[in-house]
Structure 1
Amino acid sequence: MKFFIDTANLAQITEAHDLGILDGVTTNPSLMAKEGIKNEQGVIDHYKKICEVVDGGDVSAEVIATTFNEIIEEGKKLAAIHPSIVVKVPMIKDGVK
């Protein structure tokens, strides 16, 4: 079994990591916004910080695009942030195309 925390809050992620129970983090755009992360560079910087804390565990990053080409483009940008990033796509026709 693996333990993933569903948050973008660095303090919560750090606490779970320090307990030795964290295998990864799942996030989404609304969780990022809840932490006040709004622009593209802010999102990139925040994902880098999360990846540093998780230290090798998976960090999911969800695209907000809804068309096939935009999903691919955004997914590539997210994946390029850090090797630990796992890209989540929406369960819509273009997301599973």
Structure 2
Amino acid sequence: MLYLLDTADVDAIRKSIEFYPISGVTTNPTIIAQRGKNVIETIKEIRACIGEDKMLHVQTLGETSEDMIKEANILRDAVKGNFYAKIPVNEQGIKAIRLLKKDNFNVTATAIFTQQQALIASVAGADFVAPYVNRLDNISSSGINVVEDIVNLIKNFQLSTKVLAASFKNVEQVHQVSLSGAHSVTISPELCSNLLYHPLTQESIIDFILDGYTYYDIK
């Protein structure tokens, strides 16, 4: 499992990568807008924080394949390193994915809500496909089932694409996606911390300290 942070909060990223096995960072226009800074400035700060080896997924905003490709080149040139252009899965986006792959881009297909959207993007060459779990749950669909179907389709057709599940609100969703066979998840820093938390773990640690305090003179 690859754990990525879905945020543009550089301070939160810095704190998370100190403690957790984070493989990279994902952003989108909404996340960038929440930061309140220009996209280029923001992603440069993120790259400086995470280094060049970790993945950085940045979304284009153009409505045509030509604009998506132009923006992808500008964004990649700005941050270098292990960069993924995030492209939405409409007709223009699929065209852009195919052309970007010919130009040796890493590509993440995003805004995925159906199994066939993911499969088409995979066949087009996307390195990652990003289904939105909680958004599907919010419309009385099952995000977990969609992710599981996508995983199975990728296996059935022996595609190299990885599933990067996105849009989570709680630990149980992340857990169920893990059981479904998803290769990676992108989550908020807060949810990342919650994955590790359990009150009985905290209670056990306190008990160990109290019980062993007298006998652990190892300083």
Runs of 4+ in 1 over 3 A off after TM superposition: none
Aligned residue in 2 for 1:84: 82
CA–CA separation in structure 1 for the residues paired with 2:13 and 2:26: 10
SS in 2 for 1:89: strand
Q: TM-score, normalised by structure 1?
A: 0.89
Aligned residue in 1 for 2:32: 32
Q: Aligned runs of 1:8-47 on 2, under 5 Å?
A: 8-37=8-37, 42-47=38-43
CA–CA separation in structure 2 for the residues paired with 1:4 and 1:60: 10
CA–CA separation in structure 2 for the residues paired with 1:21 and 1:68: 34
| Among candidates 88, 93, 96, match of residue 91 of structure 2 | 93
Q: What code does the residue aligned with 2:90 have?
A: I
Are 2:70 and 1:73 aligned? yes
The structure with the larger Rg is 2
Larger relative contact order (C-alpha < 8 A, sep ≥ 6)? 1
- Relative to its length, the structure with more helix (as a share) is 2
**CA RMSD, Structure 1 to Structure 2 (Å):** 1.1
Aligned residues: percent identity? Answer: 27
Q: Would the aligned equivalents of 1:51 and 1:84 in 2 still touch at CA under 8 Å?
A: no
User: What runs of 5+ residues in structure 2 fail to find an aligned partner?
Assistant: 96-219
Count of residue pairs brought into register by the alignment: 93
Q: 1:52 offset after TM fit, Å?
A: 1.6
Question: CA offsets, 1:49-72, max 9 Å, x none?
Answer: 101211220010000111011111
User: What runs of 5+ residues in structure 1 fail to find an aligned partner?
Assistant: none
Q: What code does the residue aligned with 1:17 have?
A: I
Q: 1:83 offset after TM fit, Å?
A: 2.0
